[in-house]
Amino acid sequence: MVDRYKRRTYLAGLAAGGLGGLSGCLDSIPVIGSGTGEDEVGGLDRTIKLGLLHSVTGDLQHVGTPIHNAGLLPITQLESADVALEFDVEEADAETSPAVGVRRALALVEAGYPAINGALSSDVTLQATQQVLIPYRTVSCSPASTSPTITALNDGGMVFRTAVSDSLQAVVLADQAAAEGHASAATMYVNNDYGYQLSRAFERSFAHDHGGTVAQQVPFEQAADGESVSYSSELSRAVDGDPDVLVLIGYTNSGAQLLRDLEASGADPAVLVTDGMKDESLPERVDHSIEHVRGTAPLSAGPGKEYFDRLFEDEYGADPDSTPFNAHSYDATAILLLANAFAGTNDGEAIGASIEPVTNDSGERIPPDDLARGIELAAEGELIEYVGASSGVRFDENGDIAAANFEYWTFEDGAITQLETVTIDG
């Protein structure tokens, strides 16, 4: 078989080599609407280009790696099916840092990649889209950025996400707190847009829907991998007043330290956590039992979930549900590839405009196990209805998923156990 899958990883190592050659090079970026000029428009005799901007290091590394792997699966799947199209994929590590994410986004744009699966962290997505991707008309689809701020971006139809907005997760989180009998709460949130917005949205829902009170909302700085930090001071403020429940909104590295510091403090509120801390490595990183901890997270429940699970397990020998966003990453890549095929050109605006025709309920239904046929139909200009692994992937006018499933979960015997599922509309 001819090797038609050009997978490159050099952008992941740019931190060591520096980005001096990329800084200030905006003049060399292809102009809006120019495409790459490397293939003919339309048909199957062309190369589809895709960038992945994920966090495989930094505070999200433990969830970022499987999300990244899931985002590569559609390429592997299509290559194995020997479709006529060729694929050129570039992988970049945002390091869970907005500044790094902006530089890596710039590198992808300069290299001519018109569509990006990413970023993961909401702060990285907000900075990368506003500073680079939107101005240079590069379409993006995030599998994991959940901040409500993304909904309001003035993006001209260039920013999508398969992850559901935290405006919905906040409702689920407040419902769970109330269902457990809690009337008062405090939140501790990672000091970025994801943490701030989810904390505020939880407060609104807990008060408005359940008559609860949130006495303290305390920000904390996320911990770098391997960094020694203490959150004792922030915890002291949060538990002042003896809230019934402490809601922790953050990521695994910081979350492990928060739970250690909470245990050491002697305070004993109930604990609820969010999707950023749904990580099977968390129990082994905390030196005491955390089986009392409960959490909420988006739940992958699309028509193609079972097929995705088998594909992920076969390729990586790992749990497809190790993070809440693995299936979302698969769908983000699949949608961008299908839209590129329908557009017939490596042009960001054309690809963005083609997302609706490949998720159109008037088209032929294409689940993940029929992706190869779907991309060939799209390349021939046929309307298709891609139905995903994470959800039915119905986008609203803001590029958001219109409805989603969530789960309540806990840790048991060092593993994540699902307690209940719920569906909520936007």
Over 40-80, what HEC string results?
A: CCCCCCCEEEEEEEECCCCCCHHHHHHHHHHHHHHHHHHHH
Per the structure block, which two tokens stand in for 84? 């006529």
Given a contact cutoff of 8 angstroms between Cβ atoms, the answer to whether 176 and 272 are in contact is: yes
Q: Which residues contact 226 (CB under 8 A, 6 or more apart)?
A: none
Q: Which residues contact 15 (CB under 8 A, 6 or more apart)?
A: 93, 95, 100
373: left (phi over 0), alpha (psi -120 to 50) or beta: alpha
Reference 203, options 191, 218, 192, 190; nearest CA is 218
* pLDDT score recorded for residue 62: 86
* pLDDT score recorded for residue 59: 85
More confidently predicted of 313 and 229? 313
Task: Calculate the average pLDDT of the chain.
Answer: 91
Residue 1 has pLDDT above 70, yes or no: no
Residue 396's pLDDT band, with cuts at 50, 70 and 90, is: very high
**Quick one: what percent of the chain has pLDDT higher than 90?**
81
Per the structure block, which two tokens stand in for 217? 């909302």
Reference 387, options 358, 348, 422; nearest CA is 358
Q: What's the average model confidence in pLDDT over 269-296?
A: 93
Per the structure block, which two tokens stand in for 127? 């900075």
Q: 141 pairs with which residues across the strands? A: 117, 160
Residues 139-163 have pLDDT tens digits of 999 999 999 999 999 999 999 999 9
Given a contact cutoff of 8 angstroms between Cβ atoms, the answer to whether 291 and 263 are in contact is: no
* pLDDT score recorded for residue 414: 87
Residue 314's pLDDT band, with cuts at 50, 70 and 90, is: very high
Residues 22-60 have pLDDT tens digits of 444 444 444 444 444 455 567 899 999 999 999 999 988
Q: Enumerate domains of the chain plus CATH numbers.
A: 5-163+303-402 (3.40.50.2300), 167-292 (3.40.50.2300)
Q: What's the average model confidence in pLDDT over 362-389?
A: 98
* pLDDT score recorded for residue 177: 98
As a whole number of angstroms, the distance between CA 269 and CA 248 comes to 12
Residue 225's pLDDT band, with cuts at 50, 70 and 90, is: low
Determine the residue type at 75. I
* pLDDT score recorded for residue 269: 98
Residues 202-221 have pLDDT tens digits of 999 999 999 999 999 999 99
pTM for this one? Answer: 0.85
Residues 323-354 have pLDDT tens digits of 889 999 999 999 999 999 999 999 999 999 99
Residue 226 has pLDDT above 70, yes or no: no
Identify the residue whose tokens are 């689809």. Answer: 141
Residues 70-110 have pLDDT tens digits of 999 999 999 999 999 999 999 999 999 999 999 999 999 99
Residues 152-203 have pLDDT tens digits of 999 999 999 999 999 999 999 999 999 999 999 999 999 999 999 999 999 9
As a whole number of angstroms, the distance between CA 173 and CA 50 comes to 35
Cα distances from 253 to residues 53, 63, 190, 197, 266, in angstroms, run 20, 11, 11, 20, 21
* pLDDT score recorded for residue 40: 54
Q: What is the CA radius of gyration of the chain?
A: 21
**Quick one: what percent of the chain has pLDDT higher than 70?**
89
Q: Which residues contact 312 (CB under 8 A, 6 or more apart)?
A: 69, 70, 73, 318, 320, 326, 330
Positive or negative torsion for Cα 21, 27, 28, 29: positive
* pLDDT score recorded for residue 419: 96
